[in-house]
């Protein structure tokens, strides 16, 4: 049966700005299906984003939507959530937005364990500004600002989130659209700060420069190199070389920030 996405879309704002072959449309579809599955009311959802290709997503979605400054979506989201904890707050952004300029906000949102769901669209590159390297660009890869190959070491976003204190951390890819929907739903249901890193190819900004082939090839690369989390645990570092784990990587229960604050200060 055809799925009715239109209930959640601002139809007048489509078509979207994303390039042919970009995985962000897949993420938006999975996000819609996951939100629908939670049964949340559209009026209680707030979607915040920063700047970049990924961050244009809220404009297409029929919620309370806040397109903020570069890297700052989690800081705005924190204000919204603390001022009105009844709202379901979702923050999203790309790898550059969340882990370079927004890196400080990202680690501190993880540390507080505030009840915000955070999606990081990881396409290894700054797409909107035309293909400069980001904190997740693999070492030696090419970018417009790394014409000799990238000298920087990479962030592992999921490990960064776990280390900083996020209580739900998962990774998925745009190839795994159906499992992605389930992971997003799990993240939305989790009480506390949840992070889902979503690997998405950027054929225009990254793929072309690094001879990754067609957009379809880039999606197949995700399929071939993604290892389910359970299996990855049993594999050696050598076996995992060039591969990455997908699924729920970390899940613990800890007091949620606003609830803990209210209890601490005697607010009912």
Partner 1 sequence: MAREIRFLQGNEAVCEGALYAGCRFYAGYPITPSTEIAEGLSASLPKVGGRFIQMEDELAAMAATIGGSIAGKKSLTATSGPGMSLKMENLGYAYLTEVPCVIVNVMRGGPSTGLPTGPGQSDVMQAKWGTHGDHPAIVLTPSTVQEQLNETVRAFNLSEKYRMPVIVLTDEIIGHMREAIEIPEPGELEVIDRKRPTCDPKDYKPYRPDADLVPPMADFGSGYRYHITGLNHAEDGFPSNNGKMAQADEIRQENKVMHHYDDIVKVEEFECSDAEIIIFAYGSSARSAKEAVIKARAEGIKAGLFRPLTLWPFPEKHLEKYVGKAKKFIVPELNLGMMKFEVDRVVKGQANVVGINKIDSDPITPVEIIDEIRRAK
Contact residues for partner 1 (CB under 8 A)? 10, 13, 42-44, 46, 48, 58-59, 62-69, 72, 75-84, 86-87, 104-105, 108, 258, 261-262, 265-267
If you count them, how many residues does the chain have? 268
In the complex, minimum distance from the CB of residue 5 to partner 1, in angstroms, rounded to a whole number: 17
Cβ proximity to partner 1: between 44 and 239 the closer is 44
Query: Would you call 15 exposed, middle or buried from its count of C-beta atoms within 10 A (0-12, 13-18, 19+)?
Result: exposed
Instruction: Please give the C-alpha separations between residue 48 and each of 32, 59, 66, 235, in angstroms, as whole numbers.
Output: 15, 10, 5, 37
Q: How many CB atoms lie within 10 A of CB 260?
A: 14
In the complex, minimum distance from the CB of residue 261 to partner 1, in angstroms, rounded to a whole number: 7
In the complex, minimum distance from the CB of residue 259 to partner 1, in angstroms, rounded to a whole number: 12
Cβ proximity to partner 1: between 42 and 231 the closer is 42
How far is Cα 98 from Cα 20, in angstroms, rounded to an integer? 24
Cβ proximity to partner 1: between 211 and 268 the closer is 268
Instruction: Please give the C-alpha separations between residue 231 and each of 160, 236, 239, in angstroms, as whole numbers.
Output: 21, 10, 11
Cβ proximity to partner 1: between 130 and 149 the closer is 130
Following CA atoms 120, 123, 125, 127 in sequence, which dihedral angle do they give, to the nearest 10 degrees? -90
Cβ proximity to partner 1: between 108 and 191 the closer is 108
How far is Cα 251 from Cα 152, in angstroms, rounded to an integer? 30
How far is Cα 208 from Cα 212, in angstroms, rounded to an integer? 6
Dihedral angle sign, alpha carbons of residues 82, 170, 188, 119:
positive
In the complex, minimum distance from the CB of residue 29 to partner 1, in angstroms, rounded to a whole number: 20
User: Radius of gyration over alpha carbons of the chain, in Å?
Assistant: 18
* Full DSSP string of 228-253: EHHHHHTS-HHHHTT-EEEEEEEE--
In the complex, minimum distance from the CB of residue 86 to partner 1, in angstroms, rounded to a whole number: 7
In the complex, minimum distance from the CB of residue 39 to partner 1, in angstroms, rounded to a whole number: 17
In the complex, minimum distance from the CB of residue 81 to partner 1, in angstroms, rounded to a whole number: 8
Cβ proximity to partner 1: between 92 and 199 the closer is 92
In the complex, minimum distance from the CB of residue 253 to partner 1, in angstroms, rounded to a whole number: 22
Cβ proximity to partner 1: between 105 and 190 the closer is 105
Cβ proximity to partner 1: between 157 and 258 the closer is 258
């Amino acid at each position: 049966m055809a799925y009715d996405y239109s209930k959640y879309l601002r139809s007048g704002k489509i078509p979207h700005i994303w390039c042919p072959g970009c995985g962000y449309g897949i993420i938006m579809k999975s996000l819609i299906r996951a939100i629908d599955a939670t049964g949340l009311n559209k009026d209680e959802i707030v979607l915040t984003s920063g700047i970049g290709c990924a961050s244009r997503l809220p404009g297409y979605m029929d919620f309370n939507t806040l397109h903020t400054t570069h890297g700052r979506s989690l800081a705005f989201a924190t204000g919204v959530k603390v001022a009105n904890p009844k709202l379901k707050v979702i923050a999203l952004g790309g790898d550059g937005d969340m882990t370079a300029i927004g890196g400080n906000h990202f680690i501190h949102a993880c540390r507080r364990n505030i009840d915000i769901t955070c999606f990081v669209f990881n396409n290894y590159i700054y797409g909107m500004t035309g293909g400069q390297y980001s904190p997740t660009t693999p070492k030696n890869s090419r970018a417009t600002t790394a014409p000799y190959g990238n000298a920087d070491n990479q962030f592992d976003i999921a490990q960064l989130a776990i280390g900083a204190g996020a209580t739900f951390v998962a990774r998925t890819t745009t190839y795994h659209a159906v499992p992605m929907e389930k992971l997003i739903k799990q993240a939305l249901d989790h009480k506390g700060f949840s992070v889902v890193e979503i690997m998405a190819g950027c054929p225009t900004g990254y793929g072309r420069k690094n001879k990754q082939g067609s957009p379809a090839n880039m999606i197949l690369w995700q399929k071939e190199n993604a290892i389910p989390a359970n299996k990855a645990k049993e594999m050696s570092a050598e076996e995992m070389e060039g591969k990455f784990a997908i699924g729920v990587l970390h899940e613990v229960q800890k007091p949620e920030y606003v609830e803990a604050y209210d209890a601490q200060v005697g607010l009912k």
